[in-house]
Amino acid sequence: MNATPRDSSALGGAFAKEFASAPSSKARQFFGTDGIRGAVGTPPITPDFVLRLGHAVGRVLKTSQPRPTVLIGKDTRISGYMLESALESGLNSAGVDVVLLGPLPTPGVAYLTRAQRASLGVVISASHNPYGDNGIKFFSASGTKLPDAWELQVEAALAQTPQWAASDQIGKARRLADAAGRYIEFCKSTFSADLSLAGIKIVVDAAHGAAYQIAPKVFHELGADVVAIGCAPDGLNINQGVGATHPQALVDAVQREKAHFGLALDGDADRLQMVDADGRLYNGDELLYLLAADRMACDEHVPGVVGTLMTNLAVERALARRGVKLVRAAVGDRYVLEALQQHQWLLGGEGSGHLLALDKHTTGDGLISALQVLQACVRSGKSLGALLADVQLYPQVLINKRTAPGFDWRSHAPLQAAQAQAVAALGDSGRLLIRASGTEPVLRVMVEAADAAQARHWAQALADTLPAA
C-alpha cells in the first residue's frame, strides 16, 4: 500500500501531533519497505529461497520481454558471494541473462541499470545492518524502486511450480568489468564543471562497504586531498564501528587529520553524514535544508521539499522562513520518492542521510549528495556551519516500547490523557509523534522540543503509560 504523504500543515506550526502507523506490508509475505532482508541462513535469506526468488523474478520479467537482462551488484558482505550465485542461477533458469557488477553502491546499480538499458537491477545488501544480515532489493529499468504491485507479482510467482527454461533458452551470465569506472564518471558529472576540490582535505569513510574503492577515487579525481578510512573490507567488518551509523570514527579522523570536511557512507552508500573542520556532525535533515538553500542562492525556484514524519521541526521552520513548503512522508526513502513524484519536486530526504535530488539521480546517493554539499561550500566560500547558521535542531527523544501483539494504543486512555498534558505543556515549542512499527509489536514515541529536558520528560511520561508486553 502506498504511503500517503503528510503535509507539513498537519505536523508543523506551534505543536504537532501525528498518529501514524508504518505503511502496511501485510499483503506481502517477503517484501518489506526496502526489498527482502534478514539474517543470513534464516529464511528467507537462504540460498534455496534466493534461487527460487531469482526464478520467480525471471518469470515475471518474461511475461513482457522475450529475453530480459538483469544487472546484479552487491556490497562487501561475505554472504554476497553465496546469494549472488543463487540469484544468478535462478534468473538463468527462467531464461534471463545476467550481468554481474561486483561490489557497487546501491545507487550505482540503479544508474547502470538505466545506462545499460537493462530490464532490472538487483542489489544484494543489507545497507547499514551488520554483516550477519543481508538482503535483496530491485530497481526498475529506469533506475527507480519498483511498486508494491510488482512485488506482489513476484510473490505470486514464488508460490507457483517452477517452469525451467528449455536447454537452448537458458540465460547467460557475464561480468561488466568497468562498472565501477562508469559509476565514478557519473558521480563526477554531477559536480559543477567550473569548480574544483583542489586544496580541500576530506576524510572519506566508506563503512568497509560497497563504495570502498569508488568513494576515495571520486573525490581524489575532483582534486581533493583524500584520507580514506573504512575502506578495507574483509567480508565481516561492514558497518563495524565506522560509516554513517557510527560517525564518531569520522569525527575523530577529521580532527586528527585536520581535514576541512569528513563524509561517512553506510554499507551500500546511499546514506550520508558529514563533519566540518571543527568536528561538528551534520545529519540528513540539516543537509537537506542546505541543498534547498544553495539552490535558492543560485536563483533556482524551490517550491517545496519532502521530509518524513521524523524530520526535525527546526528544519521545517527554517524552510518556511524562506517560503519553502515541507511535506512529510512516511518514514522510508521510497515514500519520500513517492511524495516527490506526486508533487513534481526535486529535493527530499531523511535525517538518517538518505537524500534525493531527482535532477541528479533517480534514487538516494550518498556520494552525489556529498558532492552537492561540497559544491555549495566551494561555490559560496562558506563552511557547513555558516551555511547552516539558520538551523538549530530541536532535541528529539525517541523511545521504542514493546507492546503486546494487537495492542490498541489509539484508544488506550492513559496514553490519551498523557498526550493531552503534553500538548498543553509543549505549546508552541515542540511536537510529538506516536507511530507503530510496521515489522514488530513496538510503539515508537518521539517528542521534540526546544528544551531537551522537556523532550525527555514527556517522551518518558508517554512511554510509561504503556503496559509492558
Is residue 141 within 8 A of residue 118, CB to CB? The reply is yes
- Separation between Cα atoms, residue 136 and residue 259, nearest integer Å: 36
Whole-number Å distance between alpha carbons of 68 and 123: 17
- Report d(CA 348, CA 371) in Å as an integer: 16
274: CB partners within 8 A, 6+ apart: 261, 262, 263, 264, 281, 282, 287, 370, 373, 384
93, 58 in Cβ contact below 8 A?
yes
For the question of residue 127 being annotated catalytic, the response is: yes
Cis omega (within 30 of 0) on the bond before 5?
Answer: no
User: What is the CB-side half-sphere exposure of residue 54 using CA atoms within 13 A?
Assistant: 32
Give the active site residue among 127, 140, 352, 369. 127
Start-end of H helices in 239-360? 248-257, 284-297, 313-321, 333-343
Question: Residue 153: left (phi > 0), alpha (psi -120 to 50), or beta?
Answer: alpha
What is the rounded (10 degree) CA torsion for 280, 285, 286, 292?
Answer: 160
Q: Which residues are catalytic?
A: 127
